[in-house]
Structure 1
Amino acid sequence: MYPINKIPISYEHNGWCGSNFYLLPHQGWKIHVSATIQNYQTVLNHVAFLSQKLKFSFKYASSISLINSLLDIHGSRINGGKLITIYPQNKEHCSRLLYDLYRFLKNFSGPIVLTDAQFKGTTNISYRYGLFVATEEKNYLYCNGKKYLDKKEPYFLLPPFIDTDPFAKDALDPIKPNTLWDNISLDYAIQFSLGDNMK
């Protein structure tokens, strides 16, 4: 799948296409945009248009097999829904882009990205702090001369060197747990699924 808007493609690899307007930092705040099979082409066109206008770097799933795997209800809880990844240059740039994307994409649906914080109550725009380019040999975040594993869990998790979420005031409030479950202990899960977010 490719955007109708003409954008410079910097690379194409393993079902991903990337468009870079600047050298990517090693790490930072990044934005994920999710979509459904039905609206992905339109969402991608909007992001491509904004990228051309605002000159930000991003990558997107371009093969239908990769798109299907990212939207599969039995797929990875770490990567599920991450159809488009946007790479801001810094925290301030990330804040501006979140609001710009919100203006254009807030009315589209998409699965919730479990590793991220959702922006302004949307299901399709989210963010997290992490590596921009991860490999098996290079999977660490750095701060003040120390290295930290870029730990990914199926919930929003800040790295140890970041005390507070700078975008928290615009993040979706966490769901309050139902107290009826307090007296129930869970031994194990038979199966994990992304199904509730894939409607």
Structure 2
Amino acid sequence: MRPSDYEQFCQADPVFYDDPGARDDAQSLYPPAVAPVPEGWRRSGDSVWVYLHPDGQTLPDQGWKVHVSGTLDEAPEIIDIVLDFCHEQELSVKFLRSRETVLKANSKYAPRGSSGKLLTLYPRDETELHRTLTGLEPLLAGRRGPYILSDLRWRDSLLYVRYGAYRQLYCLDEQGRTVSALRDANGTLVPDLRRPVFAVPEWITVPDFLREQIEARSDAAPEDFPYDIEKALHFSNGGGVYKARDRRTGEVVVLREARPMAGLDHRGTDAVERLHRERDVLRRLSGLDFVPALHEHLVVWEHEYLVEEFIEGEKLERHLFTGRYPLLRAEPDAATLAEYTALALDYGE
């Protein structure tokens, strides 16, 4: 696992390092997770999702899924609206079971490819897909939610679309790992890639009403962003950190990106609010020689950026622990231990 993956095990319990699924969220379950199901429907669930499926209905193995986004505070109302629509239209659906799971799914180090998904709807064909999008759009007008990076956004709504697996099928990827799978045009199982960018399998024909959205998305790319990205320094669900160059001056800078309503901390604070705090602190500390200079604060499309001074250097953790840490070697001598201890104490002071 990546170091960031360990955070979920730390959050599972205030005292113990534990399985993320072991955390008891019974106190924050949403009412539809426990209320009686409508007649003719059945419910199942796991530690994350609640599934509702109309009796006698068979879904295809794969197709165009509709994902519904929503903020932590508005999630209960959005779930109720969408479930009422699904019951009326006899649409299979799943939703995050509790406030706790919504918080986890949108946390800073949650998987970027799936973050933001509050509900998933399973239309059986393209006609039902279009009816779902046009029917739900006005019902959710005025609501807010994080952008789902893996999907195509339907107009300016909380609705997102992605072609993917409906039923759990598996295959091996190029690294030999077992992953979710789709059937290609020949019926062969291939990985159902869930990356933080919208993509369509090459054998799938995009419906005309979705193609219009793809073209509109391409036309909306900002042309006046004055920085060229040279390198990604860090990624999280809250946004990226980039080494960039100012086209106007040629200066190398750091761009700190924040996605609204995403990258939540344990209090529910999103990445944009934390970015504003960092901006305000950098302004207060401006002029100190050990604080990076803040050049500007930009809002581009729906994301916000701080442009900061780029300072050459090495991460302290790498400086202290990569190659220098004596306990990485068997039986270090006393002189090596003493030297490292002095170095660590010096940095601590």
What do you get for the CA RMSD once the two structures are aligned? 2.4
Match of 2:164 in 1: 130
| Residue of structure 2 aligned with 1:10, choices 26, 37, 43 | 43
| Residue of structure 2 aligned with 1:169, choices 194, 212, 224 | 212
Helix, strand or coil for the counterpart of 2:201?
Answer: coil
Match of 2:183 in 1: 142
Match of 1:188 in 2: 232
Q: Mind listing any 5+ residue stretches in structure 2 that lack a counterpart?
A: 1-29, 172-178, 239-257, 262-269, 271-349
Question: After superposition, what is the alpha-carbon deviation per residue over 1:88-125, rounded to whole angstroms, capped at 9, x for unaligned?
Answer: 00111111111111021122111111000000122x11
TM-score (norm. length: structure 2): 0.52
Match of 1:154 in 2: 196
Q: For 1:106 and 1:187, how far apart are their aligned partners in 2?
A: 38
Q: Does 1:103 align with 2:146?
A: no
Q: 8 Å contact 2:169–2:182 — kept in the other structure?
A: no
Larger radius of gyration: 2
Residues 68, 136 of structure 1: CA spacing in aligned structure 2 closer, same or farther, 3 A cutoff?
farther
| Residue of structure 2 aligned with 1:20, choices 49, 53, 70 | 53
Question: After superposition, what is the alpha-carbon deviation per residue over 1:24-54, rounded to whole angstroms, capped at 9, x for unaligned?
Answer: 2110000000111111111111111111111
TM-score (norm. length: structure 1): 0.87
* One-letter code aligned to 2:195: E
Moved more, 130-139 or 59-68: 130-139
Q: 8 Å contact 1:117–1:128 — kept in the other structure?
A: yes
Residues 185, 34 of structure 1: CA spacing in aligned structure 2 closer, same or farther, 3 A cutoff?
closer
* One-letter code aligned to 2:160: S
Divergent runs of 4+, >4 A: 135-138, 179-182
* One-letter code aligned to 2:76: Q
Which is strand-richer, 1 or 2?
A: 2
Q: For 2:106 and 2:206, how far apart are their aligned partners in 1?
A: 30
Residues 146, 62 of structure 1: CA spacing in aligned structure 2 closer, same or farther, 3 A cutoff?
same
Q: Does 1:66 align with 2:95?
A: no
Q: Mind listing any 5+ residue stretches in structure 1 that lack a counterpart?
A: none
Q: For 1:143 and 1:135, how far apart are their aligned partners in 2?
A: 12
Q: For 1:144 and 1:77, how far apart are their aligned partners in 2?
A: 28
Q: 8 Å contact 1:29–1:87 — kept in the other structure?
A: yes
Q: For 2:152 and 2:48, how far apart are their aligned partners in 1?
A: 26
Match of 1:197 in 2: 260
Q: For 1:165 and 1:117, how far apart are their aligned partners in 2?
A: 13
